[in-house]
Amino acid sequence: MPLLKIFGLTQRFGGLQALSDFSFQMEEFQLVGLIGPNGAGKTTVFNIVSGFYKPTEGGVVFDRKPISGLKPHQITALGMARTFQNIRLWNNMTVLDNLRLAGYAWLGYGFWNAILRTKRYNQSERDIENHAREILEMMDLTDYAEEFPRNLPYGLQRRVELARALVSKPRLLLLDEPAAGLNSADVEDLIRHIRWIHEKFKLSIWMIEHQMKVVMNLCQHITVIDFGCVIASGTPEEIRNNPSVIKAYLGDDTL
Amino acid sequence: MKRYTINIFLFAAAVVLVLLAQFKAPGSDSKILDGYVLSILMLIGINCIFAVSLNLVNGYMGEFSCGHGGFMCVGAYVGSLLSVAFFSNSKLFGTALFAPYLAPFLFPLVLLGAMLAAALAGLLVALPSFKTRDDYLAIITIAANYIIISLIENIDAIGGPRGFSGMNKTINAMTDLVSLPWMLMWTLVGVYICVAVVRRLMSSTYGKGISAVCQNEVAAEMMGINTNRVKIMAFMVSSGLGGLAGVLYAHVYGYVNASSFGLLKSTEGLVMVYLGGMGSISGVLMAAVAFTLLVEVLRFVIPWLNDGLHAIHVLPDSYQLDQVWTWVFIPLMLILLMQFRPEGFLGNRELTHVFPRLKRWFTLK
């Protein structure tokens, strides 16, 4: 049984067909990539899978549960987390608070426990704090725990966002262009971190990425889409030599 | 130890205030804190509750609610009605539900009822907030304020535009049992509860969801925060505590009138929040004290100014500077404040951030 199964996904925005009949599936503990030229519909796929859009047609099954139509926070609670193409951290909170808040999905208490400071509240806050600090440590971010994200360099902000996604204890991690805007040293770091969390947490990772270095290095399997349709899928080696992929990226004339 | 020192200190300060209000100065006929000072103290307390609760929405959640007076009004009326129904014989409710000597013990029920009712009224704003933000939500809050005021003014059974009274009997029932400055005590308890609730909420991960929704709603939703529930919670807590300010106000003055909770009241709340600094409990508390005192001081300063300006013949004899000018001076001050210190007294920080030594005694975050 695949961990994530997408079938016949179609998304129309008014007259624009952003996705047509997109199907895909991935197994547990796979690390796969989704690539395609700008505007191909990659982020639309992620937005549907994570619950921000309701697809016009088709559906998504995550861990045997149909999830299209659920709210993003419900999908997160089922064990999916994602990062964003443009970093979306909470900038007026410290890095540690950012990570702590990602534990919201498995917070063991509600309003009255917080007001009355019950045992349950203390226990739950302690668990979250420990987990967040553990992840900070693993991602080499402990030194920045009390910094505000907006004061950190871009590469570190990316890493904080990755760390935050991990705190929600996901089984499937969606990374939307994790290497966007990073310099080559940061990219090396990122590749190392992604490979490491993949092994360490036994995570399934699905990433959108433009930098071929990242995709070719990390992914076991790649899907290519253009104009909302799948045009190829296979191992990095197959994709590299696929004529329709080269055509989509470079155009007809160069061939 | 840190946990208790501040509470012990606050308790001691409260006891001193109550004692000062209770006993007469030697060789004098009046209490050390006379009725006038006492009423200002209570008003400061009420304004503290009003502003700190509004700060939850306007400061921490980053929405612009201009209808907080409406929720205060719901609290004031529901509290007054409960109070009259519980402890006095009235035309409206018939004989009292409880014997008068129970008043001090059952008064918390009145406060609780008022808070619950105001919290429910908060839904009027919370539900539209799912799909609306910023300016549009601000307009909805103004509308909510008007709806509440008009609704109450049009219910003739509770006095309509004439207002509602009779709460004095509840206070008298308390003083008959034990002669104490009861309303001062209830107000102090109210301020403590309000600050404790907001502080505890905002220092818990659960409550920080409010700030997360404020700063990046998409990220909040994606990281597992039920943003709609967070909004409902924030609006209901805020309006519920606003209702607490209302019920105390009603009992301090013994009379309520819906028209005193209009947009002007809501604006007073906004002034206090922006004066103190959004998202800062200690800043807003300071602002509430400063604002209330300023209004009182102007009451004396304006006649002096009037006399002075007449003495040096700046003003024509036919024109008198009167109390209306309070509402020229205060907005003027607000303009100057926004011009030169737009973040308010403390901005987003607490007193403990500005003076780290205070951390030995208490933390607000």
What is the CATH classification number for the domain harbouring A190? 3.40.50.300
A173, β-bridge pairs: A81, A205
pTM for this prediction: 0.89
State the best of A46, A48, A87, A90 to mutate against chain B, taking most chain B CBs within 10 Å: A90
List the structure tokens of A233.
């899928």
Biggest CA–CA distance in chain A, Å, is 70
State the best of A67, A86, A88 to mutate against chain B, taking most chain B CBs within 10 Å: A88
Contact A90 B219 (CB under 8 A): yes
Domain residue ranges of chain B, discontinuous segments joined by +: 2-360
Contact B211 A114 (CB under 8 A): no
- Please classify residue B330 by burial: count the beta carbons closer than 10 Å to its beta carbon, then call 0-12 exposed, 13-18 middle and 19+ buried: middle
Residues A226, A146 share a domain: no
- Domain annotation covers residue A241: yes
Question: Residue A191 sits in which domain range?
Answer: 1-79+170-255
Residues A60, A133 share a domain: no
Nearest to B72 by CA among B222, B321, B243: B243
A34, β-bridge pairs: A208, A223
Of A148, A167, A186, the one marking the end of a domain is A167
Going A93 to A94 to A98 to A100, the CA torsion angle's sign is negative
Please name the residue of chain B whose CA is at the shortest distance from the CA of residue A50. Answer: B222
In CATH terms, the fold of domain B2-360 is ABC transporter involved in vitamin B12 uptake, BtuC (1.10.3470)
Q: What is the pLDDT of residues B217-270, one digit of tens each?
A: 888 888 889 999 999 999 999 999 999 999 999 999 988 999 899 888 998 899
B255, β-bridge pairs: B165
Residues A201, A158 share a domain: no
What is the rounded CA–CA span in Å between residue B306 and residue B290? 23
Residues A21, A123 share a domain: no
Q: What is the pLDDT of residues A28-58, one digit of tens each?
A: 999 999 998 888 888 999 999 999 989 898 8
Residues A30, A5 share a domain: yes
- CB neighbour list of residue B32: distance below 8 Å, 6 or more residues apart: B20, B21, B23, B24, B25
Residues A31, A61 share a domain: yes
Name the average pLDDT for chain B.
87
Contact B204 A121 (CB under 8 A): yes
Lowest mean pLDDT among B92-106, B114-128, B151-165, B281-295: B92-106
Residues A62, A100 share a domain: no
- Domain annotation covers residue A15: yes
Name the residue type at position A91: N
Q: What is the pLDDT of residues B125-169, one digit of tens each?
A: 888 888 888 889 999 999 999 999 999 999 888 888 888 888 888
- The count of C-alpha atoms lying within 13 angstroms of the C-alpha of B359, restricted to the half-sphere facing its C-beta, is 8
Name the average pLDDT for chain A.
89
Residues A255, A177 share a domain: yes
Q: What is the pLDDT of residues B1-54, one digit of tens each?
A: 566 777 888 888 888 888 888 887 777 777 777 888 889 999 999 999 999 999
Residue B25 has what DSSP assignment?
A: P
Nearest to B6 by CA among B238, B195, B198: B195
ipTM, two decimals, is 0.87
- Domain annotation covers residue A244: yes
Q: What is the pLDDT of residues A111-131, one digit of tens each?
A: 899 888 889 999 999 999 999
Gyration radius of chain A over CA positions: 19
Overall average pLDDT of the B186-203 stretch: 92
Residues A150, A116 share a domain: yes
- Domain annotation covers residue A84: no
Please name the residue of chain A whose CA is at the shortest distance from the CA of residue B234. Answer: A111
Q: Count of A–B CB contacts within 8 Å?
A: 97
**What does the pLDDT read at residue B264?**
87
Contact B212 A110 (CB under 8 A): no
- Domain annotation covers residue A188: yes
State the best of B53, B61, B206 to mutate against chain A, taking most chain A CBs within 10 Å: B206
Residues A176, A159 share a domain: no
A147, β-bridge pairs: none
Residues A51, A14 share a domain: yes
Q: How confident is the model at residue B68 (pLDDT cuts 50, 70, 90)?
A: very high
Which DSSP string corresponds to A121-157?
Answer: HHHHHHHHHHHHHHHHHHTT-GGGTTS-GGGS-HHHH
Q: How confident is the model at residue B71 (pLDDT cuts 50, 70, 90)?
A: very high
Number of domains in chain A: 2
Tell me which residue in B206, B211, B218 faces A107 most closely, judged by beta carbons: B206
Contact B204 A114 (CB under 8 A): yes
Nearest to A20 by CA among A251, A225, A245: A225
Residue A19, φ and ψ in degrees, nearest 5: -140, 140
Contact A76 B201 (CB under 8 A): no
List the structure tokens of B167.
């709460």
Q: What is the pLDDT of residues A53-66, one digit of tens each?
A: 898 988 999 989 99
Residues A98, A56 share a domain: no
* Residue segments in chain A with a per-residue pLDDT below the cut of 70: 252-255
Give the strand pairing for A204-208 and A16-26: unpaired
**What does the pLDDT read at residue A217?**
87
**What does the pLDDT read at residue B59?**
87
pLDDT at position B210 over 80: yes
